[in-house]
Amino acid sequence: MLAFAKEHRERRLLLGSPIESKKSASSAPPSGSGAPAGKRPGPFSLVLSWAGANKRYLFASVACASIAGLMTMVGYLGVFNIMRAAYEGTCTSSTLRDNALLTAVGCVLQYACFAASSVLSHKGAYKTLFDVRCRVMDHLAHAPLGALDERGVGRIKTVLVEDVERLELFLAHSIPEAFMYLTGPVAAFAFLCSVNAPLALATLVPFACALVILGVIFSRMSKVMERATAALARMNAVMVEYVGGMRTVKALDMGTASFARFRRAIDEEHGLWCEIARKTGPGYAAYLVVIECGLLIMVPLGGWMFATGAVAGSTYLLFAFVGSLYLTEIRLLQEIGTKLAQVGSGARRVQELLDVPAFGGGRPFPDRADIELSGVGFSYDGSVEVLSGIDLSVREGERLAVVGPSGAGKSTMVELVSRFYDATAGTVRIGGVDVRDIDYDDLLRNVAVVFQKTFLTSGSILENIRMGSDASLEEVREAARLARIDDFVMDLPQGYDTEMGSLGNRVSGGQRQRIAIARAILKDAPILILDEATSAADPENQLEIDAAIANLSAGKTVIVVAHRLGVVRTCDRVAVVEAGRLSCVGEHEEVLRRCPYYARAWADYDRARSLEIGFGASASASAPAAGAPVSASGASAPDPVSAPDPLAPPDPSAPSFVAPAAGARAASAEPLAGKEARHA
Ligand SMILES: Nc1ncnc2c1ncn2[C@@H]1O[C@H](COP(=O)(O)OP(=O)(O)OP(=O)(O)O)[C@@H](O)[C@H]1O
C-alpha cells in the first residue's frame, strides 16, 4: 500500500492536474462529490445523474425498446386472428397470408428496434462509464493520501473496474430491457381489459404471485450481494498484493504461505456465490414456474365462463391464448432484478469514493517560493503523533537537507509541503500563504517531487516524461538531455516512442530515476522536494543521477531528505529530525557541534567509508578509491565536501561529480538510509 501511495504521489505531482476539464467539478470544497448533505439520492438516481448528457442516448434507447416491446404482441395478435377466423369459419388464404405477414413485420420491427436500442444504450452506457471513471480518478487525485491508504489499492481497483462496470448492466441492459419486457404486456393487458375486465384482471394472478417471489429473492440477494462484493474486493486486494510483491515472495520463498491467503480469499468469494445460488435458486425456479402458469388459470376459468355463456367463444380463445401467455414476456424481469441488486451496491461504493473529502480550489500559487512550518504536528491515524512542534523556515532558493534516524518523520514532514497530507496542528506556508488556501492544482504544479522509488507508466518514454503535459518532443528531449537520459533513449531502436513495457529489465533503477528527473525538469516547478535515492544506482549511474539532480535543482528552493551524508555538505543548511521533532537546524559545522545524533551519524559515516576504502585497497591495489571523501572533520580522511554535489548548479566546464565507486558503495551502507529497508 505504501508503494501505491508513493507511486500515486509521484504521478499526481508530476501530472499537476491530469484532467483539466474536470477542474471545476473537483474544485468544490472538501465535501466530496458535492452531493447535498441532507437526503441522499438512491443508487439509481445517482447513476442517472452521473449519465448527464449521455441520457439522450438512453432516452432514445428506451423509445426503441418500448417499440420493440409492443412488437412482441403483434405475433400474438396475428395468431389470435387466425384462431378466431378458424373458430368462426371465416379463415381464408388471405386471412392466413395477411396475418402471417403481420407477424413477420412485427418480428422484423421488434428485432430492428431492439438492435437500435441496444446500440444506443451501450453508447450511452460506455460514455457514462468513462465519465464516472474520470470523475472518480480526478476526485481521488484531489484527496489526501491518507484517504487512499485507508481504502487500499485492491478496494479502489474493485470500485473502478468491477463496480463501475456494473453500471453498464443498469444503463445498457436493465433500463431498455425493462421497457421492452413491460410495454408489450402492458399494451396487451390494456387491450384485454377493453374486451373483458374481470378476465383481464384474472390474468394478473400469476404475475402477482411472481412479484411476491421476486421480492423475496431480491431481499435475500441484496444482503448477500454486499458480502460477495466485499469478498471480491478482498480477493482483489490480496491478488494485487501477491502479484505486486512477487519479487519478495520469491526472494523469501513465501510462495505457499502467501498463496494460502490468496486461496482463502478465493474460497471465501466462491463460498458466497454458492450461498447466493442456494438462497435464490429455489425462488428463481418458483418464479419461472408461476409466471408460466397462466394457462392453468385462464383455460379452466375462461372455459367455465364460455360454458355459462358469460363470454363469447372468440373472447375465450383470446384469453386462453393471449391472456395466458402474454405475461411470460416479463419472466426476464427477474434477471433485471438480479442486475439491479448488483448495480445498487456498486453505485453506493462509487459514491463512497466520490464522498472522500478532497482538496479544492483557492488562491493562486504565491510569487515567492519560501517555505515556513510553524508549530506543525501530524498524525496518520489521529492517535500516534508522527510530528510535533515543528518550526522551520526555508528561504527562497535555499537548499535544505533533512536528516534523521529511520522513521523519525523526515518524509512525512516534507510531504506536508506538497500537501500529500494536511498538518493536524500548526501551519505550513509557502510565500506566506497557508498551503490549504492555495489552489490544489496550482500547488501541485509548483512543487516537484522526486521519490526514491520511481513510478513509470506502461506507455512510451515520451509519454512517461510528458506525463500529460503538452510539451513538444524537442522540449522533452531538452529535459532528457539535462537529466542525462537522452543518449540512452536515442540509442533505443524506437527512441522516445519505445514502450516502457517492451524494455522489461533493460532499464536500470538509475535510468528510471533519470526519466523521473526529466519529468521534474520539464515541470520546472520553483519548489523541489527530493527524497534522495541511493539504492537504485550503481556508481556510474549515481554520477549521472547526481548530474541530473544538479540540473534539476538549479535556482529552486530545494528540500532534500538526505540518505547520503555527503549530500548534506552540498546544502546551505541541515535540519535534523528525531522522533518527530526538529532537534537542530543550522549550517553543517554548527549542527555537528550541537546535535549528538548528527555528530554520531558522521562518525559512523567516516568509519564506514574508512572500512570501505581499506577493503577497496586490499582487494585491488590497482583500483584506488580516488578522491573518496570520508571524514567530517577532514583530518585523516578525504573531505566529504569534495563529494559529488548533486544539488550544485551544473558547471559545464568541469566534471563536478567525482564520486568514487568505493564512496558510492559506502553510501549504501549509511546508517541514515533506512526507508529502503522499510519499503522492502
Ligand atoms: N502512510 C502511513 N501511514 C501510517 N504511518 C506511516 C505512514 N507513512 C509513514 N508512517 C509512519 O510515520 C513515521 C515517520 O515515517 P517517515 O516515512 O516520515 O520517516 P522517515 O524519517 O522519512 O524514515 P526513513 O528515513 O526510513 O525514510 C514512521 O513511524 C512510519 O512508520
Ligand 1 pocket, residue 408 CB under 6 Å: yes
Distance 678 CA to ligand 1 centre (A): 9
| Least confident span in 192-201, 481-490, 670-679 | 670-679
Q: In what order do the strands lie in the sheet with 425-430?
A: 385-394, 371-379, 425-430, 433-434
Task: Supply the pLDDT for residue 531.
Answer: 81
The CATH number fitting domain 41-354, selected from 3.40.50.620, 1.20.1560.10, 3.60.15.10, 3.30.365.10:
1.20.1560.10
Given a cut of 50, whether residue 664 has pLDDT beyond it is no
pLDDT band at 615 (very low <50, low <70, confident <90, very high): low
Q: Burial level of 282, CB count in 10 A (0-12/13-18/19+)? A: exposed
Task: Supply the pLDDT for residue 3.
Answer: 40
Given a cut of 80, whether residue 525 has pLDDT beyond it is yes
List the residue whose alpha carbon is closest to atom 28 of ligand 1.
407
- The answer to whether the CB of 233 falls within 8 A of the CB of 155 is yes
Closest atom of ligand 1 to 381 CA is 4
Digit-coded pLDDT (tens) for 133-145: 999 988 888 887 7
Average pLDDT over residues 228-239: 79
Q: In what order do the strands lie in the sheet with 447-450?
A: 447-450, 527-531, 557-561, 399-403, 573-578, 581-586
Closest atom of ligand 1 to 404 CA is 21
Model-level ipTM above the cut of 0.85: yes
Digit-coded pLDDT (tens) for 74-104: 888 888 888 888 888 888 999 999 999 999 9
Distance, in Å, from the CA atom of 172 to the CA atom of 121, rounded to the nearest integer, reads 4
C-alpha pair distances (Å), 451 with each of 28, 285, 469, 538, 562: 29, 58, 20, 17, 12
Task: Supply the pLDDT for residue 2.
Answer: 38
Residue corresponding to grid cell 371465416: 90
Given a cut of 80, whether residue 209 has pLDDT beyond it is yes
String of DSSP letters for 24-47:
HHHTS-SSTT---SSSPPPHHHHH
Say yes or no: domain 371-679 is CATH 3.40.50.300: yes
3-state secondary structure of 384: coil
Given a cut of 70, whether residue 23 has pLDDT beyond it is no
Task: Supply the pLDDT for residue 29.
Answer: 38
String of DSSP letters for 610-630:
HHHHHHHHHH-TTS--TT---
β-strands 399-403, 385-394: how paired?
Answer: unpaired
List the residue whose alpha carbon is closest to atom 3 of ligand 1.
380
Ligand 1 pocket, residue 8 CB under 6 Å: no
3-state secondary structure of 87: helix
Closest atom of ligand 1 to 674 CA is 26
Distance 407 CA to ligand 1 centre (A): 5
Distance, in Å, from the CA atom of 495 to the CA atom of 95, rounded to the nearest integer, reads 75
Closest atom of ligand 1 to 412 CA is 18
Given a cut of 80, whether residue 169 has pLDDT beyond it is yes
> Considering the entire predicted model, what is its pTM?
0.62
Task: Supply the pLDDT for residue 258.
Answer: 65
Ligand 1 pocket, residue 242 CB under 6 Å: no
pLDDT band at 112 (very low <50, low <70, confident <90, very high): very high
Digit-coded pLDDT (tens) for 329-369: 777 776 776 677 778 878 888 888 888 887 877 889 998 88
Q: Euclidean distance between the first and final Cα of the chain, in Å?
A: 12
Kindly list the domain boundaries of the chain, sorted by start residue: 41-354, 371-679
Given a cut of 70, whether residue 42 has pLDDT beyond it is yes
For 624, the grid coordinates are: 584506488
Residue corresponding to grid cell 453500471: 167
Which residues in 306-409 belong to E strands, given as ranges?
371-379, 385-394, 399-403
> Which of 4, 373, 386, 535 maximizes ligand 1 atoms within 8 Å of its Cβ, making it the mutation to test the pocket?
386
Name the DSSP letter for residue 287: H
Task: Supply the pLDDT for residue 466.
Answer: 84
Given a cut of 50, whether residue 634 has pLDDT beyond it is no
